[in-house]
Amino acid sequence: MTSPIRTERHGDVLVIIADNPPVNALGAAVRQGLEAAIEEGEADGAIAAMVIRCDGRTFFAGADITEFGKPPVEPMLPTVVDRIEASSKPVVAAIHGTALGGGCEVALGCHYRVAVPSAKIGTPEVKLGLLPGAGGTQRLPRLAGVRLALEMTAKGDPISAKRAQEAGLIDRIVGEDSLAADAVAFAGEVKAVRPIPRASERAVQPDPEAVAAFQKENARRFRSFDAPAANIACVVKATEVPFDQGIAFERKEFLRLMTGNQSAAQRHIFFAERQAAKIDDVPADTPLRPIRRVGVIGAGTMGGGIAMNFLSAGIPVTIVEMAQEALDRGTGVIRKNYEATAAKGRMTSGQVDTAMAALIPTLDFDALADCDLVIEAVYETMAVKQEIFGRLDGIAKPGAILASNTSYLDIDAIAACTSRPQDVLGMHFFSPANVMKLLEVVRGAKTAPDVLATVMALAKTIRKVAVVAGVTYGFIGNRMLMPRQVEANKLLLEGATPEQIDRVHVAFGMPMGPFQMADLAGVDIGWHRDPNRIENVRDALAAEGRWGQKRQAGFYDYDEKRNPSPSPRVAEIIQDWRDKTGTPQHEVTDEEIVERTLYPMVNEGALILEEGKAQRASDVDVVWIYGYGWPVYRGGPMFWAKTEGYDKVVAGLEKHGFTVAQSLKSGSIK
Ligand code: 3HC
C-alpha cells in the first residue's frame, strides 16, 4: 500500500506532503509516514529545514475518529508531535483549510506556522467529549496565553488565521494561492535561526482571574458536560507544572474522557449527523433539480423563519400571504430578526439589506409560478392544506418541488390533491425555523428519488441537519413526544407535580420538561376551544385562559419577566381531577418518571424503526438532539437506551404495563 505521505526536495528544504482524503485525518499510515519523513529530513545532510503541508481541501482535520475505541497502532499521535518538535532542523507547518484537533497539535509541534488567509485553526475535541490529547492543552497556552487556550479548548470553536496570527499562533499569513512556495521560502528564511523555537520550552504564567471569569461566563453552556472542565484543568495544569508533568496529566484526562459514556455519545452523534444525510436507496450521485428561487406560503412565525434560511443562504424568496397586514407584519419580523443579528455583530448592515432585497412579499399567489420549490406553512388543517396544494398544482411550473411544513399530517393525502405527487414531500422545520438545526424531510409514498435528494442537499446549503422520515402521524420527533405527554399527564393524576416531572427532565439534561414546554408552546394549542368540554387537566387550564407563558399563566404562574413559580391554582385543578377520576395516589419517584416518560419514547422510536418510518436508529437520535435539545452527551434516545442497557429499559417498560417493541426486546435495533 502506498503511503499517504510523500516528500519533495526544494533545494535544502524537505517538503513533507500528506494526501489522505477527504480531510487528511491523522490515521496510522499518516502518522507512520510523518515520523519516517522527519527521520528522512534529519538524516539527510543536504536538508536544512522541513515543511509539512497537505494536499486536498484541508490541512490535517484531526485524529482519525474512526480509530477511536480500536486497539492503538504505533506511533501514537503524541509521539509523532514530540518527534516533530524534537527535530534538530526547523519544521514549518503550511496550513490551509482547517487545522483541527490533532492537526492543530501537529502544527503546534512544528517550530513555525504559516497559513493562508482563509485557514482556520482550532481544537474542537471538546465537541466530541474529549480534549486535545497530543500536547495541545500544554502547547496552546504556552503560545497563545491562558485565556485564548481556554476559549479554544473548552469551547472548541476554531479561530481565523488573522486572529491566530495576532495571538502568536501563526508566524506569517501567506498568499491564498501560493502556500506551497511561500512556505518553502519561509523555511529558507528561518533555517539557520538558533535556538529553534519549541512551544514546550516556553514559559506560561498562571492567570487565575482569567480562569475564574471564563468558568463563570460559560457555566450554563458547560452544564453537565465532563469535557469542558477537563480541558480547563489541563490548561491550568500547564501553568503550574513542568511540560512533561502537564503532558502526563493531559494523557490521563484524555483517556478518562475517551473511555467515558459522554464522549462515546458525542462521537456517535458526529457520525450520526453525517450518516443522516444519506438516503439508503437513492444513489449519492443522483442528479439534483436546480433551486434558484423558493416560494413560501404564509408569512407567520414559521413561514418567516423558513424564508430567512434561504435568504441567508443567498437564495431569493417569494413569500405569499392572504392579507396586506399579515404580509407587512411578517416581513417586518424578518427584518427585525436580521437587524437584531446585526446588532450583535454577527451580520453587517449591508448583509441585512442584501437578504431583504432578495425577498419578494406579495399577495399574488400566481407569483409562485417561477419558484423551483414552494413550501407551504399555513394552519395545521388538512382541508386548508389540500386546498392550497390543489391551487398550487395549477400554478407551479413543471418540475417544481412542492413541500408542506406540516408537523403531523399525512403527506400522501396532501400529495393526492395534485396531479404530481412525485414532486411533493414534507419539509418539517422546527420553531424558531431560522435557528433550529433540524429538518425532517418527509418522504411520501410517491415522492421521486431526485426530489428527496434535492431537498436533502438543499438542507445542507441552508445549514440544517436533515433526517428522512416516513409518513406517520407526527413523523419521528412529534410521534415520540406523544407517549411522553400521555404518561406525564397520567403521572400528575397519580400524585406527581408538574415541577417534579419537569425537574427530572431538566436534571436528565433536556432544556425543559413537558409542562414547561407546554407553557412555552401554548397550552391552547390543539385545544378544541369548547369551554364546556373539559376532559383533562390541560383542557381545564385552557378553559380558564391559562394558555402558558403568553398569558403569564399555564402549568406555572409567571411574573413580568416570565420567571415561573409553582401555581396553587394548578395544584387545585389537578386535585380536582384526581378526585373526579378517582385515580389512586402513590408516591411518584424520580425513577418512575424516567421509566414512564423517557423509556416510552425509546419504545416509540423502536416502533418507528420497525415500521421503516426512519432509516436508522442514529437518525432518531439526530432528530432528538437537533430538534428537541436532547442532551448530546447522552447521544439521543436510542443511543441512550443502549447505554442504559436494553434489558433494563425493557424491564422498566414491562413493570409499568407497556407493550414493548419486538426489536427492543431482542436488542436488534439498528
Ligand atoms: N476522522 C475521521 N473521519 C473524519 C474526520 C476525522 N477527524 N473528520 C471528518 N471525517 C469524515 C466525515 O465523517 C465525512 O465522512 P463521510 O463523507 O463518509 O460522511 C468526511 O470526512 C467529510 O466530512 P464532513 O462531511 O464533515 O466535511 P465538511 O467539509 O463539512 O467538514 C471538517 C470538514 C470541518 C474537517 C469536519 O469534518 C470536522 O469538523 N471534522 C472533525 C474535526 C475534529 O473534530 N477533529 C478533532 C478530532 S479528535 C482529535 O484530534 C484528538 C487528538 O487531540 C488526539
Encode pLDDT of 646-663 as tens digits. Answer: 999 999 999 999 999 999
C-alpha of 388 from chain center? 33
Q: How confident is the model at residue 537 (pLDDT cuts 50, 70, 90)?
A: very high
Ligand 1 centroid to residue 63 C-alpha, Å: 9
Q: Which three cell numbers stand for residue 632?
A: 448530546
pLDDT higher than 90, residue 300: yes
- Report which ligand 1 atom has the smallest distance to the Cα of 275: 19
pLDDT higher than 80, residue 259: yes
* CATH 1.10.10.10 holds for 5-251: no
CB atoms within 10 A of CB 546: 23
Ligand 1 centroid to residue 61 C-alpha, Å: 6
Is residue 426 within 6 Å of ligand 1 at its C-beta?
no
State the pLDDT at residue 528.
Answer: 84
Is residue 250 within 6 Å of ligand 1 at its C-beta?
no
Is residue 273 within 6 Å of ligand 1 at its C-beta?
no
Ligand 1 centroid to residue 466 C-alpha, Å: 18
Please check whether residue 65 is in contact with residue 267, taking contact to mean a CB–CB distance below 8 angstroms. yes
If you average pLDDT over residues 104-114, what whole number do you get? 98
In this prediction, what percent of the chain has a pLDDT beyond 70?
A: 100
pLDDT higher than 90, residue 457: yes
- The region, left, alpha or beta by phi > 0 then psi within -120 to 50, assigned to residue 58 is beta
Q: Which of 340, 259, 630 is nearest to 477 (CA)?
A: 630
Mutate to test the pocket of ligand 1, among 65, 68, 285 (most ligand atoms within 8 A of CB): 65
- Report which ligand 1 atom has the smallest distance to the Cα of 136: 53
- Report which ligand 1 atom has the smallest distance to the Cα of 103: 50
Is residue 283 within 6 Å of ligand 1 at its C-beta?
no
Is residue 669 within 6 Å of ligand 1 at its C-beta?
no
- Extract long-range pairs of 530-537: CB within 8 Å, 24+ residues apart: 536/489, 536/577, 537/489, 537/492, 537/493, 537/573, 537/574, 537/577
Ligand 1 centroid to residue 613 C-alpha, Å: 28
State the pLDDT at residue 209.
Answer: 96
In this prediction, what percent of the chain has a pLDDT beyond 90?
A: 97
State the pLDDT at residue 294.
Answer: 98
Ligand 1 centroid to residue 181 C-alpha, Å: 27
pLDDT higher than 90, residue 43: yes
Residue ID of nearest Cα to ligand 1 atom 22:
22
Q: How confident is the model at residue 309 (pLDDT cuts 50, 70, 90)?
A: very high
pTM recorded for the entire structure? 0.94
What pLDDT, in 10s, does the model give residues 318-352?
Answer: 999 999 999 999 999 999 999 999 999 999 999 99
Please check whether residue 92 is in contact with residue 186, taking contact to mean a CB–CB distance below 8 angstroms. yes
Q: What is the CA radius of gyration of the chain?
A: 28
What pLDDT, in 10s, does the model give residues 372-424?
Answer: 999 999 988 999 999 999 999 999 999 999 999 999 999 999 999 999 999 99
Non-local CB neighbours of 25 within 8 Å, separated by 6+ positions: 60, 61, 62, 63, 64, 65, 66
CA distance readout (Å), 95 to 136, 188, 189: 17, 17, 18
Ligand 1 centroid to residue 203 C-alpha, Å: 32
Please state which of the ranges 65-69, 79-83, 201-205, 367-371 shows the lowest mean pLDDT. Answer: 65-69
CB atoms within 10 A of CB 345: 7
What pLDDT, in 10s, does the model give residues 425-445?
Answer: 999 999 999 999 999 999 999
How many CA atoms lie less than 13 Å away from 457 in the CB half-sphere?
A: 16
Helix or strand run (H / E) with residue 49: strand 49-54
Residue ID of nearest Cα to ligand 1 atom 10:
23
- Extract long-range pairs of 376-379: CB within 8 Å, 24+ residues apart: 376/297, 376/298, 376/402, 376/403, 376/404, 376/405, 377/296, 377/297, 377/298, 377/300, 377/302, 377/303, 377/306, 377/405, 377/429, 378/297, 378/298, 378/300, 378/303
Class of the 496-581 domain? mainly alpha
What is the CATH superfamily name and number for domain 294-473?
A: NAD(P)-binding Rossmann-like Domain (3.40.50.720)
CB atoms within 10 A of CB 422: 15
Residues 131, 257: Cα–Cα separation, whole Å: 8
pLDDT higher than 80, residue 1: no
Ligand 1 centroid to residue 274 C-alpha, Å: 10
Mean pLDDT, the chain, as a whole number? Answer: 97
pLDDT higher than 90, residue 525: no
- Report which ligand 1 atom has the smallest distance to the Cα of 66: 2
Is residue 615 within 6 Å of ligand 1 at its C-beta?
no
Is residue 109 within 6 Å of ligand 1 at its C-beta?
no
Residues 661, 667: Cα–Cα separation, whole Å: 10
Is residue 78 within 6 Å of ligand 1 at its C-beta?
no
Is residue 158 within 6 Å of ligand 1 at its C-beta?
no
Active-site amino acid positions: 105, 125
Non-local CB neighbours of 189 within 8 Å, separated by 6+ positions: none
- Report which ligand 1 atom has the smallest distance to the Cα of 100: 45
How many CA atoms lie less than 13 Å away from 13 in the CB half-sphere?
A: 25
Is residue 66 within 6 Å of ligand 1 at its C-beta?
yes
Cα Dmax for the chain: 94
pLDDT higher than 90, residue 526: no
Residues 494, 386: Cα–Cα separation, whole Å: 41
Please check whether residue 252 is in contact with residue 230, taking contact to mean a CB–CB distance below 8 angstroms. no
If you average pLDDT over residues 25-37, what whole number do you get? 98
What pLDDT, in 10s, does the model give residues 569-593?
Answer: 999 999 999 999 999 999 999 999 9
Residue ID of nearest Cα to ligand 1 atom 34:
98
Is residue 565 within 6 Å of ligand 1 at its C-beta?
no
Q: How confident is the model at residue 30 (pLDDT cuts 50, 70, 90)?
A: very high
Ligand 1 centroid to residue 464 C-alpha, Å: 17
Residue listed under C-alpha cell 438516503: 279
Helix or strand run (H / E) with residue 542: helix 537-543
Please check whether residue 137 is in contact with residue 250, taking contact to mean a CB–CB distance below 8 angstroms. yes
State the pLDDT at residue 532.
Answer: 84
Q: Which of 76, 53, 73, 197 is nearest to 139 (CA)?
A: 197
